[in-house]
A and B are shown apart, each in its own frame.
Chain A
Amino acid sequence: MRADRPPPRWGLFTLYVVSGAVLVFLIVPILIIIPMSFGSALSLEFPPRSLSLQWYVKYFTTPAWLRATGISFQVALGTTILATALGTLAAFGLVRGRFVGRDLLLALILSPLIIPGIVIAVAIYLVFARVHLVGSPLGLVLAHTVLALPLVVVNVAATLKGFDEAVERAAMSLGAGPIRTFRYVTFPLIRPGVIAGALFAFMASFDEVIVAIFLSGRTATTLPKRMWDSVLLETDPTIAAISTMLIVLAMLVLVLPTLGRGGSRG
């Protein structure tokens, strides 16, 4: 660090100030919602003059919010299972295989990361509307899996890339069949990637709003869809309480894989 011949002091100072300001810009709008959600006034205020749990109470006692949350959990769980299964298998094939069309398949799987959600939502809506999959949790699971699949593939592929295949050959040469090798050697080694991929898939579905706007119909309103409907009309402070819970969920999901990884490393 010392030998780096530091740039002039004012240069370094500017760098710190600008970077700090950018970090504040990124994090403060999210954190500011948290105290506001505990306000006791009838509208959101910062700082809140006195604290109360009224908006949390309202959320937990409004059947429509609870129903939407239930559907979101159901859809996110279904998406997680389907995307993790399909994505883990695909990641193996794509990282280890060298076959014709591999790059094309990879591009296809990853393309939902780049293609606008609105295009995917409209396309799936036009098809699902004809086969009665609008307004059903199943339709949402299928559509969300398209969006979640690349996240699983990217995460599992990342652990597979640093994987020493010699340990698998060792297990096999000691008499373990392919299934036992996968169960006791391969899977434990790629588990962090699978867990991270599954968590990403869960969050991608649980927070997803554009596909839900099209596919929720009247019978499968997800939490983000209901938040969207509410935010379009007014700034309902209940949204601040829900937002706070979603922010805490995001923090948990960010920290969980790190704990898992630390554990498996021993």
Chain B
Amino acid sequence: MKAALGWPALVAPAMLFLLVVFVVPIVMVLALSFSGPQIGLQHYARIATTPVYVRVFGNTLQIALGVTLASLVLAYPLAYLLSTLGARTSIILLGLVILPWFTSLLVRSFAWMVLLGQNGVINRGLLSLGIIDKPLPLLYSAFGVYVGMVHILLPYMVLALYSVMRGIDRDLLRAAQSAGAPPWRAFLHVYLPLSLPGVAAGSLLVFVMATGFYVTPALLGGPRQTMIAQLITSEINEAVNWEFGAALATVLLLVTLLGLTAFNRLLGMDRLLTRDA
């Protein structure tokens, strides 16, 4: 069949394009990160030995972990409910998950600024109800960053869990219960283990994406919630220290690639080729 030669040829234009606009730039970032005044690991040494940078990396991982856990706890019951509903209802409710997912990240972060601000909707509401007597510092705080990031990443978690849960045979739960297991045991020993691939996929995806966040922490967080991406931007745009910015970007890329490799090992890249992954 002619296809033996034909199929790779169809991928070639995209490959060539990515090579020039994506691969070469990434390789240049790597190369740049080892240069500067002289060739070597100087920038990496500076990252590892400067308390501010270590703290920002710590912050980033901590926020990413917290956001992942919060998303998992919030998404699990919702995804479970969605997977038990009939097609019509679940499509409508899924729409409510997908619409925010499809809405500009900037719009969503702006919405949270309006809600959480000193004179924002939430503070005014609580003040007028007499629950508080001075505005809560919701915006420009860790709280703001967590709320904003969970809001943006939650749909990914819901969809990852839902795609696995929909495939779980619920007869197994029934079987466990008719064999005498109380519902909570049937859930813990039968359902939960079967849903773990979704938990793993969703958590990895959310964690990896969270580590690279820029817009949300910049708009909703304070100086103490600075994340790696903000550091990279200020090195490139304000300090115009490209080599050091490149080293920071390389470390972030490394974290991402570790996550990507784990994802591939655990679940296989092919999952991404299906619509619901």
Contact = CB atoms under 8 A, between A and B. Distances in A.
Interface of A: 3-5, 7-8, 11, 15-16, 18-19, 22-23, 25-27, 29-30, 32-33, 36, 43-44, 46, 82, 85-87, 89-90, 92-99, 103, 105-120, 122-127, 142-143, 145-146, 149-150, 153-155, 157-158, 161, 203, 207, 209-210, 213-214, 224, 227-228, 231-232, 235, 239-240, 243, 246-247, 250-251, 253-254
A109 B104 contact: no
Contacts, number: 270
- Chain A interface secondary structure, helix, strand, loop or mixed? helix
Interface residues of B, number: 97
B222 interface: no
20 contacts: A4-B173, A18-B77, A22-B75, A22-B154, A29-B100, A29-B108, A30-B108, A89-B11, A97-B10, A114-B208, A116-B214, A119-B252, A122-B249, A123-B25, A145-B21, A146-B21, A146-B22, A153-B273, A207-B106, A243-B110
Contacts of A253: 102
A125 B235 CA distance: 13
B72 to A, nearest CB: 12
Contact of A210 (B13, B205, B215, B245): B215
Contact of B97 (A26, A90, A95): A26
A18 B21 CA distance: 45
Q: Which 4 pairs of residues, A with B, have the shortest CB-CB distance?
A: A116-B212, A97-B7, A93-B10, A123-B25
Given A114-B259, A209-B105, A123 B215 contact: no
A16 B201 CA distance: 25
B260 A111 contact: yes
Interface stretch (B26-34, B36-44, B47-55, B129-137): B26-34
Contacts of B81: 15-16, 19
Nearest to A7: B183
